[in-house]
Structure 1
Amino acid sequence: MSQALSDAERRDWLRLARTENVGPVTFDQLLQRFGTAGKALAALPDLARRGGRGGLKLAGEAQVDKELADGAALGARLIAACEPAFPQALAALDPPPPLIWARGRVELLDQPSVAIVGARVASAAGQRFARGIAAELGQSGHVIVSGLARGIDAAAHEGGLPTGTVAVLGGGVDDIYPPQNAGLYARIAETGCVVSESEPGRAAVARDFPRRNRIISGLSRAVVVVEAEFRSGSLITARLAAEQGREVLAVPGSPLDPRAKGTNDLIRQGAALCEGAEDVLRALEGLRGFREADRTYGARPTSDPDDALREAVCALLSPTPVSRDELVRATGAPASAVFAALVELSLAGRADLQSGGMVAAT
């Protein structure tokens, strides 16, 4: 269910989202528990102390002021996950990113979309294929989503420019990388849309790209991988798409080309084979639309964990992710108390709360 935020509430959302150790899962749990971002902010120092850490660094008013001013200077719009303008497909994720910055035609974010991703060092044939399939899918009414990287991403954006394309960035909405895509970025900002979960002015670092990839797949009904070596970011996008219930398609290639190893392996694992736009449209036939996210933020009853339960939960964690439900079964404690303990451990930097209800030791 959507709700409009006041300026003060939006500032609180931004402060909470930018606070140290508050990722999307922790943000969602805090909002479910306390009802408002303002109440969650007030509770954070005590929660972090319970988790075993003092001096949690909260995002300050000056930091929020600067981010809002930087976004306004770019003509970008800050949209919270609870607001009507937030893309429905992205809101259906569990959990969605708390906030996104969008620059350009925001209305494109709620149109049927297909992501096209692939190798940065792409072959000429791969780039031609990505450009052509993007153009065909655009003519069939689909917005093309990609990550503005060189190679396949850039070719997909070029093919989708006439009908609508969305670039999702790891850095801020003004972080043009690689620099040689500056002209393409300018055209997308003018006729398409640029999206980022990060604050304006931020240059992307390695840990930002998995979050970017999650948004690429989250915005899309299907993900097409054109070329990808093993362990590439494109395969991460494909895995996230499968976890999110999106269609995954891969373009086959020669076994002699390392750029085909990732795509051929995706097909081996069950991804649909893609030889053209017809294969994508066929995969999307009968695919139901995203239902409206049933996510309301209001304080829910919770059991505060004691020190013994908190440490018992922490002792059960390992680098291998485990479901929160498994931790509830292992401790025999109420689910609300276990979830609260995990939030406190996360704020203290002792637990990594992941999407899909998984958690691991940091």
Structure 2
Amino acid sequence: MQLTDAQRLDWLRLIRTDSVGPRTFRNLVNRFGGASGALDALPAITGRAGKRVTPPSKAEIEREMAAAARLGVRFVATGEDAYPRSLQATDAAPPLIAVRGNLDALARPSLAIVGSRNASAAGLTFTERLARGLGEAGLVVVSGLARGIDASAHKASLTTGTIAVLAGGHDRIYPANHAALVESILEAGGALVAEMPMGWEPRGRDFPRRNRIISGLGLGTLVVEAARRSGSLITARYALEQGREVFAVPGSPLDPRAEGTNDLIRQGATLVAEVEHILSAIAPLLERGDPFGAGQPFSLIRQALEEQPDFWDEIDLDGTSPASPDTFSDPATEIAPPLDDRVRLLSFLSPTPIGTDELSRAAGLSVRIVQTALLELELDGRVERHGNGAVSLSAR
């Protein structure tokens, strides 16, 4: 798949819309046959619930694309050849990533290294040793450009390949004093990846959002020094949920910076005392040649997105399916279900989750009317979503 310029602009407009994250993006694109149709439909769908969402204008997105181009940033979409297969295989993969630097670095096998910002000297030294060994074995090192372990991992793998994942926009490097490190990464043939728009200053919730990309890019995630409430443990949890290997370096039980990594080992993470411990664990994946299904047909449909944390305050359209050309009507003129249909649906709902197909049959309403009514009821706080597209009365 390769987007046209017009399609790329539409994709960017849709994912930059308030309350649209990866889950809503995929559901809208599948339901309305593309980003263009989804953009046309979104104001009407949300407006009926009294929470009208308006996508950014073409001019706004064109300005962002122009600012990105001035920095040499390219927007790569899921399904395109340049999009990392490892990240595409995850349930909450960003529909578009902004990449600056060497795209080839994203195609190579990689491993994530994360850890404490306030790392010990021993931790920094050991990180350098491991990152250098991984690079010499042909792996790209992925990290988050933070102080401490992240920076040490990037610096030690400059000559062999490293990828930095940003929490903000490409023109808002955080921390700012790592601007020189960014230039070193780019000059050495590495890459920077961002999900957020140009000009975006990273906020607290943006770092966990970034962490799922760090873990998603790698065959596994290595944690070096992490306190019990460290953000690095969030990255390790994402790696586990994404079906990736989790590695941890043990430390002294007297050092608070080792509490998180020691806990990971007790919970089953692979103990790492030398680089060979990592290489032997991922060798079967490398030998497989195509661990993330590069030969499989691309699909925007994802089954487990409802299990992911919602960093976007998303409009939840889980359970919708792409409209067929024979039955799809223009969303701008589609008639809202009458109030008594919504009341009828509520009478069939309880605190026990039920599938939308079962609800449609029980209520004697078409799936399209049920889906539209459920969206409005959800935006009104009357119903809530569960796994596998099930819904129930809201507990609030």
Taking structure 2 as the reference length, the TM-score comes to 0.80
1:257 maps to: 255
Structure 2 SS opposite 1:116: strand
Q: Is the 8 Å Cα contact of residues 342 and 377 (structure 2) preserved in structure 1?
A: no
2:307 maps to: none
2:190 maps to: 192
2:355 maps to: 328
1:320 maps to: none
Report the Cα distance in structure 2 between the residues aligned to 1:355 and 1:78, rounded to whole angstroms. 31
Of 143-152 and 194-203, more deviation after overlay is shown by 194-203
Q: Structure 2 matches for 1:79-118, cutoff 5 A? A: 79-118=76-115
1:299 to 317, 322, 326: 322
Report the Cα distance in structure 2 between the residues aligned to 1:203 and 1:330, rounded to whole angstroms. 42
Any idea what the Cα deviations from partners look like across 1:139-186, whole Å, max 9, x if unmatched?
A: 000000000000000000011111000000010123221122121111
Which amino acid in structure 2 is aligned with residue 307 of structure 1? R
Unmatched tracts of structure 2, length 5 or more: 301-320, 329-335
- How far off is 1:345 after superposition? 6.5
Report the Cα distance in structure 1 between the residues aligned to 2:83 and 2:348, rounded to whole angstroms. 35
Report the Cα distance in structure 1 between the residues aligned to 2:172 and 2:281, rounded to whole angstroms. 34
Which amino acid in structure 2 is aligned with residue 26 of structure 1? T
1:143 to 136, 140, 144: 140
Q: Is the 8 Å Cα contact of residues 313 and 327 (structure 1) preserved in structure 2?
A: no
- How far off is 1:251 after superposition? 0.6
2:154 maps to: 157
Change in 2 beyond 3 A, CA 1:253/1:77 = same
Q: Is the 8 Å Cα contact of residues 51 and 379 (structure 2) preserved in structure 1?
A: no
1:171 maps to: 168
The structure that has the greater radius of gyration is 2
**What's the Cα RMSD here?**
3.2
Matched, 1:13 2:11: yes
Matched, 1:38 2:36: yes
Which amino acid in structure 1 is aligned with residue 342 of structure 2? D
- How far off is 1:351 after superposition? 8.5
Of 232-241 and 86-95, more deviation after overlay is shown by 86-95
- How far off is 1:54 after superposition? 3.6
Change in 2 beyond 3 A, CA 1:296/1:124 = same
Change in 2 beyond 3 A, CA 1:309/1:28 = farther
Q: Is the 8 Å Cα contact of residues 47 and 347 (structure 1) preserved in structure 2?
A: no
Report the Cα distance in structure 1 between the residues aligned to 2:388 and 2:184, rounded to whole angstroms. 35
Structure 2 SS opposite 1:285: helix
Matched, 1:128 2:125: yes
1:227 maps to: 225
- How far off is 1:200 after superposition? 1.7
Q: Is the 8 Å Cα contact of residues 252 and 274 (structure 1) preserved in structure 2?
A: yes
Report the Cα distance in structure 1 between the residues aligned to 2:389 and 2:215, rounded to whole angstroms. 18
Report the Cα distance in structure 2 between the residues aligned to 1:168 and 1:313, rounded to whole angstroms. 46
Taking structure 1 as the reference length, the TM-score comes to 0.87
Which amino acid in structure 2 is aligned with residue 296 of structure 1? S
2:331 maps to: none
Which amino acid in structure 2 is aligned with residue 291 of structure 1? G
Report the Cα distance in structure 2 between the residues aligned to 1:225 and 1:23, rounded to whole angstroms. 28
Any idea what the Cα deviations from partners look like across 1:267-300, whole Å, max 9, x if unmatched?
A: 1111111112111111102124111364435934
Matched, 1:290 2:281: no
Report the Cα distance in structure 1 between the residues aligned to 2:144 and 2:157, rounded to whole angstroms. 13
Any idea what the Cα deviations from partners look like across 1:66-122, whole Å, max 9, x if unmatched?
A: 110110010111111132211111111124211100000011111100000001011
Change in 2 beyond 3 A, CA 1:110/1:33 = same
Q: Is the 8 Å Cα contact of residues 73 and 101 (structure 2) preserved in structure 1?
A: yes
- How far off is 1:347 after superposition? 7.0
Larger RCO: 1 or 2 (CA < 8 Å, sep 6+): 1
Report the Cα distance in structure 2 between the residues aligned to 1:344 and 1:283, rounded to whole angstroms. 48
Matched, 1:48 2:46: yes
The count of corresponding residues between Structure 1 and Structure 2 is 351
Unmatched tracts of structure 1, length 5 or more: 318-325
